[in-house]
């Protein structure tokens, strides 16, 4: 069999090797061809040096300068990846750097946070050679007999992360020290070649995820910039950037003149069934993208006394315990069954949904949310359909609205494609971490 993880997420090119049954203890379920034998269990402290960064007495905020030697701390690798440049990282001068030279990072080092997200680690690459690590960081360093990239991913497995978390101390915020980290069990293949093969595979997978993430983030920045240019700024009646052939001022109208807004379904727990009409909720909006969920609620069709949702309508969160989530919105697409929106949601129906959805990312909508969203002190934040309908909005002629809407629809489709690939690849990575390690 030439491919491991065959069929996982339909991403065959990214999982190769041979599959075996893990009949013996300390043998992974999935393995590259040519390797066999049980893996060895060690405590991390037996195979690596674990060191804490300099404490407060060694370095103070006043020691930082604008252009010097970077010193990383916990917030710089919350996602398990270190920055590739020193922008926005605290930096120290030559005198302090030489004084702290025992805290200099080398390629292949692994860093952990001492507090907070203590189960997350990051691998030091060529980009961070010579950087310092702060007192809130623990550094792990192996010798050349162990592939550090493999160890980085071994420490990223659910088993290793759980081991760190259950031994962390602190009630309000977990924290670890060198001894806790040293006593973390890790499993190593006997041959370094196998370690390197596994480490390289996961590095390739992370590189692919990072490429999609970079393209996704670049498109989001582009969209933000274009929204500012292609819709009139506050106080203006024309946008800075316009498609060729359009001119004249945009007219002021109310949202209720171009869209109808309706409230969602109120239902009882006894109305919930395993199969029925799907109820769309706030969780179906993911960063302005509509998504279906495995845990979507369904209700008996007899309980539905409102209009079903149509594709192309805009789903809006009207109430939520977290006020910052109130107002998020997305166009409903790719519905595969009868659906309604829940009681904490609104739906806007309009002839130009993609234009209106894009417009709801501009100043008029942000100002509306800032002024009308109630909440705080334990209260549920909410907006009313009647208040939203009365809001003034600038619009061009219908043909230009369609042109702008189609443009942002295309841009959103590209963003969604990268977002989907990131999720698929991330799921593949987690599946392979579970199968390719003991």
In a domain, 2, yes or no: no
202 in a domain, yes or no? yes
**Which residues does 117 contact at the CB level (< 8 Å), separation at least 6?**
74, 78
| pLDDT recorded at residue 310 | 96
Tell me: do 122 and 107 sit in the same domain. yes
**The tokens of 197 are what?**
């093969």
Tokens of 260: 């109808």
Lowest mean pLDDT among 9-23, 145-159, 225-239: 9-23
Q: What does the H/E/C string look like for the chain?
A: CCCCCCCHHHCHHHCCCEECCCCCCCCCCEECCCCCCCCEEEEHHHHEEEEECCCCCCCCHHHEECCCEEEECHHHHCCCCCCCCCCCCCEECHHHHHHCHHHECCCCCEEEECECCCCCEEECCHHHCCCEECCCEEEEEECCCCCHHHHHHHCCCHHHHHHHHHHCECCCCCECCHHHHHCCEEEECCCHHHHHHHHHHHHHHHHHHHHHHHHHHHHHHHHHHHHHHHCCCCCCCCCCCCCCCCCCCCEEEEHHHHEEEEECECCCHHHEECCCEEEECHHHEECCEECCCCCCEEECHHHCCCCCCCCCCEEEECEECCHHHCCCEEECCCCCCCEEEECCEEEEEECCHHHHHHHCCCHHHHHHHHHHCEEECCEEEECCHHHHHCCEEEECCHHHHHHHHHHHHHHHHHHHHHHHHHHHHHHHHHHHHHHHCC
Indicate the number of domains in the chain: 3
Count Cα neighbours of 296 within 13 Å in the Cβ-side half-sphere: 24
- Please indicate, yes or no, whether residues 145 and 196 belong to a single structural domain of this protein: no
- Mean pLDDT computed over 181-210: 97
Q: Which domain holds residue 151?
A: 40-188
Of 136, 167, 188, the one marking the end of a domain is 188
Average pLDDT, the chain: 91
Domain identity same for 350 and 306: yes
Taking only the tens place, the pLDDT of each residue in 247-300 is 999 999 999 999 999 999 999 999 999 999 999 999 999 988 999 988 999 999
Q: Look at residue 57 in the predicted model and tell me its pLDDT.
A: 59
Question: Angle at the Cα of 316 (from 376 to 288), degrees rounded to 5?
Answer: 100
Looking at residue 16, what is its pLDDT? 36
- Report how far residue 256's alpha carbon sits from residue 132's, in angstroms, rounded to the nearest whole number: 57
| Same-domain pairing of 151 and 274 | no
In the chain, the percentage of residues whose pLDDT exceeds 90 is 85
- Would you say 48 and 146 are in contact if contact means Cβ atoms under 8 Å apart? yes
Q: Are 346 and 360 in a shared domain?
A: yes
Q: How confident is the model at residue 61 (pLDDT cuts 50, 70, 90)?
A: confident
pLDDT given for residue 99 in this prediction: 93
| Mean pLDDT score, 334-340 | 93
For residue 1, the model assigns a pLDDT of 29
Is residue 9 situated within a structural domain?
no
Do 348 and 388 have their domain in common? yes
pTM of the model: 0.84
Q: Is the pLDDT of residue 95 over 90?
A: yes
According to the model, what pLDDT value does residue 4 have?
Answer: 38
Structure confidence at residue 3 (pLDDT): 34
Q: Are residues 265 and 183 in the same domain?
A: no
Same domain, 402 and 387: no
Inter-residue contact 59 to 100 (CB < 8 Å): yes
153: CATH: 3.90.220.20
What is the rounded CA–CA span in Å between residue 5 and residue 14?
Answer: 9
Specify if 238 maps to a domain.
no
In a domain, 75, yes or no: yes
In a domain, 240, yes or no: no
Per DSSP bridges, beta strands 132-133 and 69-72 are parallel
Q: Based on the fold, state whether residues 352 and 407 are members of the same structural domain.
A: no
Question: Do 302 and 358 have their domain in common?
Answer: yes
CA separation for the pair 260, 396 (Å, rounded)? 19
Q: Is the pLDDT of residue 6 over 70?
A: no
**Has residue 215 been placed in a domain?**
yes
| Predicted confidence (pLDDT) at residue 20 exceeds the cutoff of 90 | no
Residue 374: pLDDT band with limits 50, 70, 90: low
Q: In terms of domains, do 381 and 260 share one?
A: yes
Given pLDDT bands bounded at 50, 70 and 90, which one contains residue 381?
A: confident
| Domain-embedded: residue 343 | yes
Q: Are residues 258 and 342 in the same domain?
A: yes
End-to-end Cα distance, the chain? 21
């Amino acid at each position: 069999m030439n491919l491991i993880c065959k069929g996982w997420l339909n991403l065959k090119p990214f999982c190769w090797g041979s599959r075996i049954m893990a009949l013996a203890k300390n043998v992974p379920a999935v393995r590259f061809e040519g390797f066999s034998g049980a893996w060895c269990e060690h405590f991390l402290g037996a195979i690596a040096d674990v060191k804490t960064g300099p404490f407060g007495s060694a370095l103070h905020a006043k020691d930082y300068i604008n252009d010097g030697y970077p010193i990383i701390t916990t917030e710089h690798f919350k996602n398990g990846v270190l920055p590739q440049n020193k922008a926005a990282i605290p930096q120290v001068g030559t005198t302090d750097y030489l004084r702290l030279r025992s805290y200099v990072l080398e390629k292949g080092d692994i860093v952990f946070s001492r507090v907070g997200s203590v189960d997350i680690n990051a691998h030091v690459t060529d980009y961070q050679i010579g950087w310092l690590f702060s007192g809130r960081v623990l550094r792990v360093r192996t010798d050349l007999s162990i592939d550090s990239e493999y160890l980085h991913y071994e420490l990223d497995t659910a088993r290793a992360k759980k081991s760190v978390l259950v031994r962390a101390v602190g009630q309000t915020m977990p924290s670890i020290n060198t001894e806790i980290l040293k006593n973390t069990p890790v499993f190593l293949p006997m041959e370094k070649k196998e370690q390197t093969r596994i480490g390289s595979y996961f590095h390739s997978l992370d590189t692919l995820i990072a490429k999609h993430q970079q393209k996704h983030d670049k498109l989001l920045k582009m969209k933000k910039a274009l929204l500012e240019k292609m819709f009139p700024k506050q106080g203006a009646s024309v946008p800075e950037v316009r498609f060729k052939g359009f001119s004249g001022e945009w007219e002021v109208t109310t949202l209720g003149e171009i869209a109808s807004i309706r409230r969602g379904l109120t239902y009882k727990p006894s109305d919930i069934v395993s199969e029925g009409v799907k109820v769309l909720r706030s969780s179906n909006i993911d960063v302005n993208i509509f998504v279906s969920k495995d845990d979507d609620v369904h209700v008996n069709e007899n309980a539905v006394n409102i209009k079903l949702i149509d594709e192309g309508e805009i789903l809006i969160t009207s109430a939520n315990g977290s006020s910052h989530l109130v107002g998020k919105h997305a166009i409903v697409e790719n519905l595969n069954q009868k659906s309604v929106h829940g009681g904490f949601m609104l739906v806007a129906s309009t002839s130009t949904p993609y234009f209106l959805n894009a417009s709801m990312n501009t100043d008029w909508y942000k100002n509306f949310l800032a002024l009308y969203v109630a909440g705080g002190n334990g209260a549920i934040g909410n907006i009313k359909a009647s208040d939203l309908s009365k809001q003034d909005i600038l619009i061009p002629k219908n043909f230009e609205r369609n042109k702008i809407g189609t443009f942002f629809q295309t841009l959103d489709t590209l963003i969604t494609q990268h977002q989907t690939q990131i999720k698929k690849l991330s799921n593949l990575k987690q599946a392979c971490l579970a199968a390719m390690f003991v």
